[in-house]
Amino acid sequence: MTVGLGGHQLKGDQLIIIDFEFSMPERQQYPRGFYPEIIETGLVAVQNGKVTDKFSSYVKLSAFPVLTKRCKQFLSISQSDVDNGIPFHSLVQYLKELNQRGKSKIITWGNMDMKVLRQNCSKGGIDFPFKGGEFIDLSMEYKRFFGDQNQTGLWKAVQEYGREGVGKHHKALDDALTTYHIYKLIEKDKKYLDKAEPTTIGDRIDLSKIFNQMA
């Protein structure tokens, strides 16, 4: 787990890029009352264009404490990883403290991260940490920006930019860093596409000279 890179004294607008990995049932086998729980967190906080925090941790399970074989294989995660993780309430407390530094823009790839965080908070009787924040689903921004009919996967999107993702796919911090990478690429492209206001004929020629010649 890594928390902070010397930036936690800063105040002001910030980007919080988050990726969560969730527990999952075996295929077509849903235990009674099952819901996905956060089991790994990756986060990057940015202020004034500089990374102020990186956070990476496994998270202990509460409602369904035993990982399924499918989950362990898909995420390359072990039971001991989550058993030795931080409690969920500690994760929420960290997110709350991070959000209190200033106005936050929370960026995720897809809408499931915030949905599951809200649900996990509700199930645990814990307040949602990102009150007053702006939420951006970057996958939808990417879809609108490029006019795609379907949503694109995170690593496919970065490859379409001719780049490579950071680290390993489905590792939470690597996916958060890759999401931040795509965010910067999209923002750069948006600036290129911003159209300058068209000049008028008066901007292009000196009308006073013409009037003098006609006098």
Count other Cβ atoms within 10 Å, centred on residue 175: 27
DSSP letter for 57, please. E
Closest CA to 159 of 190, 124, 185, 131: 185
Whether 21 is catalytic is yes
Q: Which of 8, 164, 169, 170 is catalytic?
A: 170
Residue pair 173/56 in contact by the 8 Å Cβ criterion: yes
Residues in the chain: 215
Q: Which of 21, 37, 40, 181 is catalytic?
A: 21
| Helix and strand totals (H; E) in the chain | 9, 5
Residue pair 181/163 in contact by the 8 Å Cβ criterion: yes
**Residues annotated catalytic, as ranges:** 21, 170
